[in-house]
Amino acid sequence: MKNLTVIIRNLPLKQKLLYSFMVASITSLALACLIFILNDYLTGRTLLLNEGNALADTLGSTSTAALAFEDKKTAHEILQALKAHPHIDMAALYQKDGTDIAVYVREGTTGRPSHVDSIKNRFFDQKNIHISRPVSLDSEYIGRIYLRYDLSGLASRQMRFIYLVLFVLVLVSCFTYLIASFLMKFISKPLKNLVDVAHAVSLNRDYSIRAECFSPDEIGVLADSVNDMLVQIQARDIQLVQQQEQLEVQVANRTHELKTANEHLTVEIAERKLAELALDESNRRLEALSITDALTGIANRRRFDEVLLQEHARHARSGGELSLVMLDIDHFKEFNDCYGHVNGDECLRQIGQVIASSVTRIADLAARYGGEEFICILPETDSEGAVAIAEKIRRDILALVIPHKGSKVAGYVTASFGVITVKCSADGSAAYVVAQVDELLYRAKFHGRNRVVSIDSSKAVDTAVETSG
Amino acid sequence: MVVLNILMLILLAISPIAAVMIVPGSAAAASPPVTRAASYEVKAAFIYNFTKFVTWPSTSFVNAADPIKVCIMDNSALSEALEALAGKTSKGRHIKTLSYQNITEGDRCHLIFFGESVDTPLTKKILLAVGKSPVLTVGDSAAFVQQGGIIRFITSGNKLAFEINPATARRSGLEISSKMLSLAKIVGELP
């Protein structure tokens, strides 16, 4: 039973409908046929009974006189009339006391009617209907008539009817199948169409497909609803696509804007970088300017102060010897007065170059100290080395042979030098060292100019040494 | 009515004579008593059955309760058997038996049985008196039907049977059932 339910549930709709149709129609037909057969059987029996009753009544009535007058001959004749009724195989007329006055047995029938059978008014057994009627005369019971029907004729008629019904059932089943198959199309075709549409839609995501509407029935309504749904989905789809497109356009616009802004920014950054570079350049130039003497191209006083402080501190830590060379152009006021400031500047420039070409070690620094005064820082240099450098510069200046009429020393430009060599200590100040070398320069001026006066303060004996050309 | 009254008068007039004449005869005839008695009873039953198969015109009864009067013109043992019918009913009416001794003037018989003891001249007289009145006449004598009687008992083999003259019956206004006619031997002209 459960299997059957599963099998039916798994059938396609068309077959489900077809089988339902057939089962319903054949069942109803079979039921109708059964009722007809039953009715036929009952009607046949009833007809037979009615006929039998009527016959019994007639015969009873006819035989009243024979019974009343006990006329066996007439009674016998009356029963012989039953030969005309093929279904009656036995009959008898009984008197009040149960003795028969006439008996009829159809040819080919064995046995004899018994009075016992005739006691009941009527009854059935498998093969026969027994009908028995009392015969009365003037409402007085005078005897009984008994008839026996043979039912074999009825049974064979029944069988023929059943065969006919079976044949009709088979015929009707075939017709039902044909008609149902034809009629099913009206239901299954629109449904299949709908299912195909649903398939196509779900498979291809194509919402432009529409279900064909065949009829205004429930399936038609369903198709309409599906179509409506598809229309809505399609509209939403289109809207979605439009929105997406708009969004994409917006994103593209925004991206473009961003790109432009980026480009602007990049340009700006490049410009700023250029500006920074320019700034750096100018800064460097400014810095160079700030530490260089504009006229001679060597370091200026500020730069000298810085380096001296650094070197002094460094030498204080290392304990090395630091030497300073200070020089001053002899009678430069007179030179300016005599040759003019332009030549004076030229003179200063040439001397600056001479100094720069002599002070060449990396750590060395040559600077214009002010006016016609120059100063050199010679780190890690002992007095000897420093004096040698000072002497070289003095000779180089002389070698320039710049004419100087106003000089009381010689006809050419000369310079005086002070050289000091110190071992820096933490408590000694840089300014003191400069003052000391300035003192030595003054001594060289005092002693006749164009000479070098040096002190090696790093030694225990602090004696000034004078050298000159 | 007049005829019937006359008949009654005749009956009354002749009855003592008849009694004198018949009684010795009947006594002499009672040689096989058992068979006779049985045959009387059968005849009585037949006569009772006749009342059931014969229809009298309604004018022959005073009302619905009027009995069927069976008059017995005999003094034999049959009359005793017939007396037994009294009290029985037929077609909803009681049967009243009247023997020739106690028939009164007002009595109108529906059925008259002529016994063996009634001789031919008397039978003739009575039948004449009855004429076409609706009276079922039943007799035993051989010429009874020829004399104008309707039913006569006969013996067929060893069985009691009867013959009927339907024409006479019809003339008397009596209807005899075809069922009974089918059992009877029909005599006289056919209807």
What number does CATH give the domain A293-468?
3.30.70.270
Best mutation target among B42, B46, B49 (most A Cβ atoms within 10 Å) is B49
Side chain identity, residue A210: R
Closest-CA residue to B135 (of B169, B179, B87, B88): B169
Predicted pLDDT at B1: 44
- How many Cβ pairs closer than 8 A exist between chain A and B? 29
Residue A292: CB atoms within 10 A of its CB come to 18
**CB within 8 Å: A65 and B182:** yes
What is the predicted pLDDT for the residue at B27?
38
**pLDDT at residue B25 in the model:** 37
Interface mutation target, options B93, B179, B185, B186, chain A, most CBs of A under 10 Å: B179
Q: Which CATH superfamily is domain A2-172 in?
A: PAS domain (3.30.450.20)
- CB–CB of B91 and A138 under 8 A? yes
Query: Quick one: pLDDT at residue B106?
Result: 62
Residue B18 falls inside a structural domain: yes
Rounded CA separation A184/A197 (Å): 19
- Tally of structural domains, chain B: 1
Per-residue burial over B136-152, b if 16 or more Cβ lie within 10 Å, else e, is bbbbbbeebbebbbbbb
pLDDT value for B36: 57
Residue with tokens 């120059």: A374
Residue A461: the pLDDT is 54
Name A405's Cβ contacts closer than 8 Å, sequence gap at least 6.
A338, A411
Name the residue among A65, A71, A74 with its Cβ closest to that of B177. Answer: A65
Residue B178 tokens, joined: 């075809």
User: DSSP letters along A39-87, please?
Assistant: HHHHHHHHHHHHHHHHHHHHHHHHTHHHHHTT-HHHHHHHHHGGGG-TT
Give the pLDDT confidence score for residue A247 in this predicted structure.
Answer: 93
Residues of chain B with pLDDT under 50: 1-6, 9-10, 12-34, 191
For residue B122, the enclosing domain spans: 2-186
Q: What are the CB-based long-range contacts (under 8 Å, 24+) for A248-254?
A: none
Q: State the pLDDT at residue A427.
A: 65
Q: What is the pLDDT of residue A407?
A: 86
Distance from CA of B181 to the nearest CA of A (A): 9
Tokens of A136: 């009365």
Measured between CA atoms, the residue of chain A closest to residue B88 is: A140
What count of residues does chain A have? Answer: 469
Kindly determine whether residue B183 and residue A62, on different chains, have CB atoms separated by under 8 Å: no
Domain membership of residue B191 (yes or no) is no
User: Looking at residue A468, what is its pLDDT?
Assistant: 67
Asked if the C-beta of B90 comes within 8 angstroms of chain A's C-beta atoms, the answer is yes
Question: Using an 8 Å Cβ cutoff, are B149 and B169 in contact?
Answer: no
Distance (Å) from the C-alpha of residue B45 to the closest C-alpha of chain A?
8
Best mutation target, A77, A97, A138, to test chain B (most B CBs within 10 A) = A138
Q: Which residues of B touch A95 (CB under 8 A)?
A: none
CATH code where residue B146 lies: 3.40.50
| Catalytic center residues of A | 372
Q: Is B179 on the interface with A (CB under 8 A)?
A: yes
The alpha-carbon gap from B161 to the nearest alpha carbon of chain A, in Å, equals: 8
Enumerate the residues of chain A whose CB falls inside 8 A of the CB of residue B179. Answer: 61-62, 64-66
d(C-alpha B71, C-alpha B74), whole Å:
9
The verdict on residue B13 lying in a domain is yes
Q: Which residues of chain A have pLDDT under 50?
A: none
pLDDT of residue A426: 64
